[in-house]
Amino acid sequence: MWQFFLSKISILKSGLFHVILLLLLGTELCGFRCNQNTVHLQCHACGGMMPSRTNNNVPQHCLGCDRAFCGAYWHAQRLSRSDFHVVCSHETFKPISERTISRIPFLAHETNRHEQDITERCIRQMGRTLQDVISDWIVKFNNREIDRTRMPLNHAEMVTASTHVCNQCYDKLVSFLLYWFRVTMPKYLLPPDAANREDCWYGYACRTQHHNEDHARKRNHVCRPTRGSNI
Ligand SMILES: [Zn+2]
Ligand SMILES: [Zn+2]
Ligand SMILES: [Zn+2]
Ligand SMILES: [Zn+2]
């Protein structure tokens, strides 16, 4: 209840900021005029408002989750954060190919930390960086060399390297690509302790890996299920 109340206040506040901004700028915002009929979108990240533009080629929604984000819009309008207007940094909503990554996302390998550690050691052993590996896989992804059935993003078939996605969807995409990086890797390239493990029958869908540390470590979970309902 309290949170609901707070979120209402923040909507009011950001709406008010927008109105103040428009007054200051004389209702003119880089060639676009708001009027009482202008539909506004609320950014999912900062809670700020932006006018909904349909005749504009700057994306205002993340294709992966359909939520509104203002980073690309205000960047295109050359407007940045100020004291009286809530605006996201451009970094939070930009094309997949322009993003960089330095850490394996928390979501990777169904949040199994042992598998994340193995992936990290694999990459290091190959003398590469996470960024190198992801850049390669984004090329393969863009060339449609990867089966997208399990890709956890909306409109998966429409996503390309130039699609704008939010931070959360980018982490999901990287996690999806790291799955393919691992399943296509020959066993002899894995660190020895990882190569000697047997595949868990339930593969990535195994639930035991989430509450049994020993099992999570002793079996490989970056593989397709051969039992259970996810085959
Ligand atoms: Zn407006
Ligand atoms: Zn998203
Ligand atoms: Zn925003
Ligand atoms: Zn298992």
Ligand closest in space to the Cα of 50 = 1
Helix axes 113-125, 130-142, angle to 10 degrees: 100
How far is it between the farthest Cα atoms of the chain?
Answer: 69
Looking at the domain that runs over 2-88, which CATH code has it been given? Answer: 3.30.40
- Compute, in angstroms, the gap from residue 61 CA to the centroid of ligand 3: 11
Neighbours of ion ligand 2 (CB under 5 A): 62, 64-65, 166, 169
- Compute, in angstroms, the gap from residue 43 CA to the centroid of ligand 3: 5
In this predicted structure, which of 37-41, 82-86, 178-182, 226-230 has the lowest mean pLDDT? 82-86
**Nearest 5°: CA angle at 161, between 157 and 162?**
105
Q: Residue 72: which region, alpha, beta or left (left: phi > 0; alpha: psi -120 to 50)?
A: alpha
Q: For residue 11, how many C-alpha atoms fall within 13 Å in the half-sphere facing its CB?
A: 10
pLDDT tens track for 91-149: 899 999 999 999 999 999 999 999 999 999 999 999 999 999 999 999 999 999 999 99
pLDDT band at 164 (very low <50, low <70, confident <90, very high): very high
Q: Residue 110: which region, alpha, beta or left (left: phi > 0; alpha: psi -120 to 50)?
A: left
Q: Phi then psi for 40, rounded to 5 degrees?
A: -110, 145
Mean pLDDT, to the nearest integer, of 180-199? 94
Q: What is the mean pLDDT of the chain?
A: 87
pLDDT band at 34 (very low <50, low <70, confident <90, very high): confident
In the chain, where does the domain assigned CATH 3.30.40 lie? 2-88
Beta bridge mates, 155: none
- Compute, in angstroms, the gap from residue 63 CA to the centroid of ligand 2: 6
Ligand closest in space to the Cα of 35 = 1
- Compute, in angstroms, the gap from residue 103 CA to the centroid of ligand 4: 25
- Compute, in angstroms, the gap from residue 3 CA to the centroid of ligand 3: 19
- Compute, in angstroms, the gap from residue 137 CA to the centroid of ligand 3: 29
For the chain, the distance separating the N- and C-terminal CA atoms, rounded to the nearest angstrom, is: 42
- Compute, in angstroms, the gap from residue 161 CA to the centroid of ligand 4: 33
